Each structure stands twice: as structure tokens, then as C-alpha cells.
Structure 1
Amino acid sequence: MTRAGPTALAGRRAFVTGGGRGIGAAIVLELLSQGAEVVFADIALDKATAAVTASAAIGIALDVSDVDAVAASVSSHGPFDILVNNAGRDQHAFFVDTKPTEWAELLAVNLGSVLACTHAVLPAMQAAKFGRIINIASEAGRIGSRGGSVYSAAKGGVIAFTKSIAREAARYGVTANVVTPGPIRTPLLEAAVLAGGDRLLRAMQDSTLLRRLGEPEEVAGLVAFLASDSAGYITAETIGVSGGMGC
């Protein structure tokens, strides 16, 4: 994929959830580099990377699973042409060892936030006859994850929801697509490797055809493309950035 120029997204306003660190931070910086105005939300805004903090992006502290807070934030900072639902969290435990309170939290953050943000942003997109919704799911939502059953269920829900929104919103000129990362080198993954050791790292690498971890920027490049005019005929798609995981 050829990287678009610095004005590919000029005049567009984007809302990125979970934009302070990891994949979200890379997405924020990539959208900015292509000319978009960017507002990002993060529940731990004080932990945002230095690059994002120093950028032109507007950061807001927000629990994106809080429907009312999301609606208020979108009303204050919108309308938006681009929505990137990236916020999420994982849990590593076998299902029989998990608790209903943990299920509720995982579903709220990984799926509920996608519903809340889309519900808040979509009406203005439809009125404007333009919109790009890009939801960050996971390969776990397509192939499952041992020790991540509820997370996988939530991400599978994101995929199904996105396809439904694509059907509902197409007549308004709004596209909706899913990006499914595999093992990407983020602070959360590095913390898991630190706890699990070299064996876990090798297992992650070996689960891909390319035998390596992905970089956040590799996800961000696809997101920026899907947000651009060049992707105007792409909707209801689920596109992996996973080095061939699951093939």
C-alpha cells in the first residue's frame, strides 16, 4: 500500500478512542500526518505517549463505555467525519476461572464502547452524506483465543455490528470496516511477554506466517487508507493486519 500524502485527509475531523498509547497513538499520529484534525479519547490520558501529547491532537479523558459521557463529548467536540473505535482491554484466563463481573467489564469496553461511539457520531455523518467508521477488532474475534474467550466474543460482536452498520449507513455515503490486528508490539503485549517469557513471545511469532510481531504503524497505515477517499468503495470488510495469523 502506497502511503498517502500529507493532505489526503485535509478538512476531515477524526475521533479516535484509546488514542493515548499503542495502536491508538500510532493511528492518531498517522491521521494527523495526512492532514486530519484529530480528537482522541483515553481513560488514562495522563499515560499518553509523549509524541501524542506533543502533537496537534486534542486529548480528552473519557470512559468510552459510558454512553452518556460519550454523547456529551461528541456533542462538544464534533461533528466527526472519521470514527476509529480502538479502545479495548484483554484478560488472560480460562473461561471457567472468570467471573460475571469480569465478563461485563470486557464486553462494555470492547463492544459497548463501539456501540456508544457509533451511536453518538453516526447521525451527523448521515446528515453530511459522508463518514468513515473503522473499528479495531482482533483476529481473536475470527479464530478465537485460548484464555481470551470473552474478549474474543466481544471482538466477534464488533465484526458483526460493523457489517450491520455498513448495511444501514451505505445509502448515506458512510462506510464501515473492521481491522483485525494479530500480535502487535504494544506496551500491553510487551508486559504480557515480560510475564510469560520467551516461550510466549515465540508462540506469538510462530502463530503468524511472517514469524514476527507487527508494529502499531502497520495497523495505522491501513486505518488511514480506509479513512481516505481512496477507500470510498470499500465497506463491510474485515481486513487482517496479522502477518497471516490463522491461515
Structure 2
Amino acid sequence: MTNQPLSLWKPAMNTLARVAQLEAAPRPLEGRVALVTGSTSGIGLGVATELARQGAALVLNGLGDPDEIEQIRLDLARDHQVEATYSDADLRDPEAIRQMMAMAHDAIGPVDILVNNAGIQHVAPIEDFPVARWDAIIAINLTSAFHTIRAVLPRMKAEGYGRIINIASAHGLVGSPFKSAYVAAKHGVVGLTKVVALEAAESGVTCNAICPGYVWTPLVEQQIDDQAKAFKITPEQVIKDVLLKAQPNKRFATVEEIGMLTAYLCGPGGASITGAALPVDGAWTAH
């Protein structure tokens, strides 16, 4: 290590004061543009809502009924007084992703905050796993993040600010049977996060992965009902003995919790957090 004066490595007091000032601001992300994939429901919508609450303009992306999505967009824009637009880009298609990123820039402005949240799942033994489902899961859960990051990183580096948040999973840290594609993709997301963080480390751009366990969403609620019927057990038994069996705290995380953590990482307090895979899993991966 070179013998550098200590003052070169310490943040200046005016910088610390500025961080404190920004953290105290009611809308610390005012003026930022956030693109969140898979943001028309569930975790993605929770993240988009919190980013908008803190002042970020939004680019939404995801599937669903067009009228319902338009209402979500209008509600976010009205409730939080931010610009909001929507892209229906198919994240399996690199060209569609490129067009979405260009549209975001033209419609609202350059993307300062990128949240790669979109994901799909399929459960089957490897020998029975449909090849088309494997390809789709890898494309949407992993490869799309490569394409979105590749599109925004040069400008983020040039500007000296950028926040990239990849919503991975507890399955980015541990494995489970019958989820080969999902586990492989989420482990890949964690690895991609580390590489981007290292490449951008001196630029003011951070890249982190959030690794949720089970989060209470409409999709999980439906899964509980389906499994209760399939196994002829009560919904309470599905929750306790199936879904939350590996989660020591025995409770679901909420989309609001994921949103607040994302927003914190995007704000001034997250400036030195980069390359991390942050579990939000009730100590599941502490085993």
C-alpha cells in the first residue's frame, strides 16, 4: 500500500454534512430517473412506488392488463407528483430492451437508477425441465440484466452517479431442488452484480443485489391457495410447513421493505455499499 496522507482517504466534512442534509430531505431522489423492470405488480411495483415517493421519475415495465397498467402509471404520477411512463418491452428480446432504454431516455431523461427485478419461475426435476422454460428463465432473470446494465453504465460512469439494483433471491445464495433454471439465473445475477461493482468502483456508480426470501405478493398468495388444494392441507399449513419452512423468522417480507431498502441504496447513505448481496430472508441463508 502506498504511503498516502490520511486526508486523501477521508471524506471531507462538507461531504459528510451534504450526505446528512440529503438523507434528511423529504424527497432525496428528486430529479433522478428510475427504470424498474417487472414493475406492474409485486416486488417491482413496491420498489417503483417507494422510489416515486422519494421523488424519482419512473419508467415502468411489465406484463398485465393494459388498462390496469395505465391506471397504475396514472396513480403513481398523481400520488407522488412525478413523471411516469411505461414500456411493454419483452425482456427476452435484446432489441426490445434496447428500444426500451432509448424510449426512457427520450421520454423522461437518462436513467440514473436501474432496478432489474423482472423474473419468472418454473419448478421441475432437471431431467423433466422443459428446454424452452430454461431458456426463458435465463433470458428474463439474468440476460436482460446484462443488456439493461450495458445500456446505462457508460453514461452513469461519465456522470459520476448511478445506482444499479438487481433483485436476486435467497436462491442466488443457496440452492433448492427442482428450481435449476431459477437458482442458476439468480446465482448468475449475484455474480454479475459483483463484476459490475468492481468495474464501476471508482466512478461513483454502485451495483448491489437484494436477495429476498418469500415476499408477500399476489403471486405468492395464489401459490398458497393452489398448494393447499393440491396437497389437501390448510393455507396455514402451506405457509408454515412449505413456504416458510426455511425462514427462521416465520414471516413474509413485504414489498414495502424491499422498496425501502432499494431506495436507501439509491440515496446518499448507500454511496459506499457496492458489490453486496443483501439477504432479506428472515435468516434463511444464515443456516
TM beyond 0.5: yes
The question of 1:234 aligning with 2:273 is answered yes
Q: What is the CA deviation profile of residues 138-175 of structure 1, one whole-angstrom value per residue up to 9, with x for unaligned ones?
A: 00111112221110000000000110001111122110
Q: Structure 1: which amino acid aligns with 2:29?
A: L
CA 241–49 in structure 1, closer or farther in 2 if over 3 Å, else same: farther
- Measured after TM superposition, the shift of residue 65 of structure 1 is 2.6
Greater shift in the superposed pair: 163-172 or 14-23? 163-172
| Kept in 1: contact 2:209–2:277 (CA 8 A) | yes
Distance 2:132 2:24 in 1: 43
Q: Structure 2: which amino acid aligns with 1:61?
A: D
Q: Counterpart of 1:134 in 2: which secondary structure?
A: strand
- Equivalent residue for 1:7? 27
Distance 1:45 1:171 in 2: 42
Long gaps (5+) in structure 1: none
2:76 alignment partner, one of 45, 48, 55: 55
Distance 1:4 1:242 in 2: 28
Distance 1:193 1:97 in 2: 24
- Measured after TM superposition, the shift of residue 200 of structure 1 is 2.9
The TM-score with structure 1 as length reference comes to 0.93
Q: Counterpart of 1:135 in 2: which secondary structure?
A: strand
Distance 1:6 1:30 in 2: 12
- Equivalent residue for 1:136? 167
1:158 alignment partner, one of 174, 180, 189: 189
- Equivalent residue for 1:201? 239
- Equivalent residue for 2:148? 117
- Measured after TM superposition, the shift of residue 53 of structure 1 is 4.5
| Kept in 2: contact 1:28–1:52 (CA 8 A) | no
- Measured after TM superposition, the shift of residue 45 of structure 1 is 5.8
- Measured after TM superposition, the shift of residue 50 of structure 1 is 5.0
Distance 1:200 1:94 in 2: 21
- Measured after TM superposition, the shift of residue 206 of structure 1 is 2.9
CA 4–29 in structure 1, closer or farther in 2 if over 3 Å, else same: farther
Distance 1:45 1:16 in 2: 18
Q: Counterpart of 1:84 in 2: which secondary structure?
A: strand
Q: Counterpart of 1:196 in 2: which secondary structure?
A: helix
- Measured after TM superposition, the shift of residue 243 of structure 1 is 1.2
Q: CA RMSD in A?
A: 1.7
Structure with larger Rg: 2
- Equivalent residue for 2:178? 147
| Kept in 1: contact 2:123–2:178 (CA 8 A) | yes
Distance 1:188 1:32 in 2: 23
Q: Structure 2: which amino acid aligns with 1:147?
A: F
Q: Structure 2: which amino acid aligns with 1:54?
A: D
Q: Counterpart of 1:124 in 2: which secondary structure?
A: helix
| Kept in 2: contact 1:64–1:117 (CA 8 A) | no
1:219 alignment partner, one of 255, 258, 261: 258
Long gaps (5+) in structure 2: 1-22, 78-83, 229-234
Q: Structure 2: which amino acid aligns with 1:28?
A: A
The question of 1:245 aligning with 2:284 is answered yes
| Kept in 1: contact 2:166–2:208 (CA 8 A) | yes
- Measured after TM superposition, the shift of residue 192 of structure 1 is 1.4
Percent of residue pairs bearing the same amino acid type: 36
| Kept in 2: contact 1:5–1:34 (CA 8 A) | no
Q: Counterpart of 2:166 in 1: which secondary structure?
A: strand
2:49 alignment partner, one of 29, 32, 53: 29
Q: Structure 1: which amino acid aligns with 2:148?
A: C
Q: Counterpart of 1:207 in 2: which secondary structure?
A: coil
